[in-house]
Copies of this chain bind each other. A is one copy, B any other.
């Protein structure tokens, strides 16, 4: 059992992690830190955190682990803020959606990647944001990818893995480049497609929405995700996202061309394979 964890940014992800740890009684005290006192007070009243402070030295005093759960563009300022208060044994971790940029920022701030900094990314979320949407079960049966650098302290990797496992997550370890490429495909690309669809609808015929069936609603659900978080993901993983948008456009062009040239059998084949892949994937 850890004595004290500090969570910087008590929103959906930070709050759900805290709520999950408290549910399984894994930590004695969880302290929230952030800029918005009303949000922290709400988190405390919801029972998500035990206490909060707006003083970073108080927040980190005696902490075994500090988790950064804010959008990635704030990481440089946050790492600079916590740097003077980090002790030798304090584990640093985060939940950023892009891992290469997080490691790069840490190297800038610390001059090297601290051995006790263990980057992590829980692959879970909701289209709702904020601590009001926090859920102790959010990470149950979800994957958490951990991307430790070569110099990472093994015990810290184990400690971070153990916390996530205790809230029900399945751990995978890979390097940050593989993570950023994979997530650009499975998460960043679908979000860009959903945002583009809403953008197209707004620009061409906003009234059309009311004729949309369930499929469209599901499809556009992820377009309701937090705009700041997604801005930061785009800015921090541009090359991979662009690569996958371009790859995707080739698939879309292929289908458009099959429609243009009325290639009925080839269309059926593409649709059939898509359906098979999707159906077999859901069985896994």
**Residues of A in contact with B (beta carbons under 8 Å apart):** 73, 123-127, 142-143, 145, 182-183, 185-187, 189-206, 208-228, 230-231, 234-235, 238, 241-242, 244-252, 254-256, 258-260, 262, 264, 267-268, 270-275, 277-279, 281-282, 284
Q: Is B193 a contact partner of A197 (Cβ separation < 8 A)?
A: yes
A196's contact among B123, B220, B223, B255, by CB below 8 Å, is which? B255
Q: When A and B form their complex, which 4 residue pairs have the shortest distance between CB atoms, in order from nearest? A: A198-B274, A227-B271, A215-B222, A200-B251
Taking CB atoms, residues of chain B closer than 8 Å to A192 are: 252, 255-256, 259
Q: Which of B213, B221, B273 contacts A125 (CB 8 A)?
A: B213
> Would you call B275 and A211 a contact (CB within 8 A)?
no
> A216 touches which one: B187, B212, B275, B284 (CB < 8 A)?
B187
CB distance from A26 to the nearest CB of B (A): 23
CB-CB < 8 A to A278: which residues of B?
A: 198, 220-221, 223-224
Question: A268 → chain B, closest Cβ, in Å?
Answer: 4
Pairwise interchain contact B284-A210, C-beta atoms closer than 8 A: yes
Q: A123-B213, A215-B125, A249-B252 are in contact. Are A195 and B234 (CB under 8 A)?
A: no
Q: Which single member of B127, B217, B275 contacts A223 (CB below 8 Å)?
A: B275
Query: Do residues B235 and A208 form an inter-chain contact, with CB atoms below 8 A?
Result: no
Residues A143 and B211 in contact, CB atoms below 8 Å apart: yes
Residues of B within 8 A of A221 (CB): 215, 218-219, 278
Selected contact of A211 from candidates B123, B126, B249, B262, CB within 8 Å: B123
A124 with B214: in contact, given A251-B200, A275-B227, A279-B224 (CB under 8 Å)? Answer: yes
Interface centre among A183, A213, A228 (most CB of B within 10 A): A213
